[in-house]
Structure formats: structure tokens, C-alpha cells
Amino acid sequence: MLAALLAVDFDGAAALRKQAAGARVVAGCACGCPSIEFEAGRGFGMNPKVNGFPYEGHTSLFLYTIVDADGGELLGGIEWAGIDEEPRELPPPETFAVEAA
């Protein structure tokens, strides 16, 4: 899903694509939804960069960055925002339309 979200062009996409090569998931959401947080996701702010909308259903997700102490943007995580039944893992990327936020 991360690769699909980063395939969209937006300001800073190239730098985030480089970060994605070493991205490591360190946390999931306590509620059981498929939201994930990357290792760098514990910085400041949540800046949505890319939105994903399913071809069917009433859910969405977004890729967000955080600002580190030096003011740079780092991959923060993928946030699930659904009102349908929540899956336990991120759905296949081909089931989503993706666009810059």
C-alpha cells in the first residue's frame, strides 16, 4: 500500500520514496483497525500527503508525514478512516483510487 500511495506525484514525494525503502512499521492502532505508524511517526504534527479511496464502500485512508526536530518531513504512517466494517489489515492497493491530498 505504501508504494501505491507514493506513486502519486506531490511536493516532497521523491524524498519520501527514498525513505520508504527503509521504512519500518513500529505500531498499529489499539482499536484493531489497519492504521500503522512508521518508525519516524512519533514526531510533530500529522500532514496528510496522499488520500486513498476504495472503488467500493465508504472508507478511506491517507498517508501522512510528520515534521522532525530539524524541520524535515518524515514518513509518519498510514491512517485508516472508515465507517464500513474495519479490516484487520490494509486492503490490497489495487482496490483503491489514490490522489495527492
pLDDT reported for residue 89? 83
CB-based burial label for 47 (10 Å; 0-12, 13-18, 19+): middle
**What confidence tier does 20 reach under pLDDT thresholds 50, 70, 90?**
very high
Nearest to 39 by CA among 91, 80, 12, 2: 2
pLDDT reported for residue 52? 86
d(CA 12, CA 73): 8
Residue 16 CB neighbours (<10 A): 21
pLDDT reported for residue 71? 67
d(CA 24, CA 20): 8
Q: What letters, b where the CB count within 10 A reaches 16 and e where it falls short, cover 48-67?
A: ebbbbeeeeeebbbbbbbbe
Is pTM, for the whole model, over 0.75? yes
Q: So where are the chain's domains?
A: 2-100
Higher pLDDT pick, 40 / 14: 14
DSSP 8-state assignment for residue 4: H
The predicted-structure confidence for 24-65, as pLDDT tens digits, reads as follows: 999 898 888 899 999 875 555 677 888 888 777 778 899 999
